[in-house]
């Protein structure tokens, strides 16, 4: 197993919540926006509960193409229940190309980094948090950093 794949699997175990509400979506979305704006990142940000988009922001330089990428990566998370980066890396680890071997329309599904599931312990995936506009690993890491920060804040509440 590659180092990246190991890391992504570990993150999937780590990033679990006891609960995640609409208020949490607003807090995490606002955090992502503040961090991205502070760094001058040209990104679009989205948070979904199931198929409903409950948070969206676009920063200078982001385009409608970023929204399209978010939707395609989100469909991967909905379908596989794992981060879009992890799904893509699992295919690469088997020597496969997601766009070919998943047998899904690549115009609708993208296994590129940037969308991470919102997983509730004992319940499973209820939504996702995503960023698009940076290289895929940077998109993924930006989301993971802010989900970790939210988990840390929750632990001190």
> Can you identify the CATH homologous superfamily of domain 3-156?
Haem-degrading domain (3.30.450.150)
Q: How far apart are CA 111 and CA 136, in angstroms?
A: 10
Instruction: Name beta bridge partners: 130.
Output: 46, 115
Tell me the mean pLDDT in the region 12-38.
97
Residue-level pLDDT at 154: 83
Q: Average pLDDT of 113-123?
A: 97
Query: pLDDT tens digits, residue range 46-65?
Result: 999 999 999 999 999 999 99
Task: Over range 132-153, report the average pLDDT.
Answer: 97
Count of helix runs (H) and strand runs (E) in the chain: 6, 5
Q: Please, what sign has the CA dihedral across residues 70, 73, 78, 83?
A: negative
The greatest distance separating any two alpha carbons of the chain, rounded to the nearest whole angstrom, comes to 46
Domain ranges of the chain: 3-156
Residue 70 CA to residue 68 CA, distance in Å, equals 5
Mean pLDDT of 66-70: 98
For residues 76-100, average pLDDT? 97
The answer to whether residue 157 scores a pLDDT higher than 80 is: no
Q: What are phi and psi of 32, to 5 degrees?
A: -60, -45
pTM of the entire predicted model: 0.96
């Amino acid at each position: 197993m590659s180092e990246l794949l190991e890391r992504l699997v570990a993150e999937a175990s780590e990033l679990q919540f006891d609960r995640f509400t609409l208020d949490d979506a607003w807090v995490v979305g606002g955090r992502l926006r503040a961090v991205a704006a502070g760094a001058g990142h040209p990104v679009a940000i989205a948070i979904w509960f199931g198929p409903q988009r409950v948070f969206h922001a676009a920063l200078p330089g982001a385009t409608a193409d970023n929204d399209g990428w978010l939707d395609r990566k989100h469909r991967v998370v909905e379908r596989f229940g794992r981060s879009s980066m992890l799904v893509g890396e699992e295919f690469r680890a088997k020597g496969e190309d997601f766009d070919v071997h998943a047998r899904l329309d690549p115009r609708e599904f993208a296994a590129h980094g940037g969308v991470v599931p919102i997983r509730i312990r004992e319940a499973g995936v209820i939504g996702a948090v995503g960023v698009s506009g940076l290289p895929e690993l940077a998109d993924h890491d930006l989301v993971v950093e802010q989900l970790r920060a939210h988990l840390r804040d929750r632990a001190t509440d």
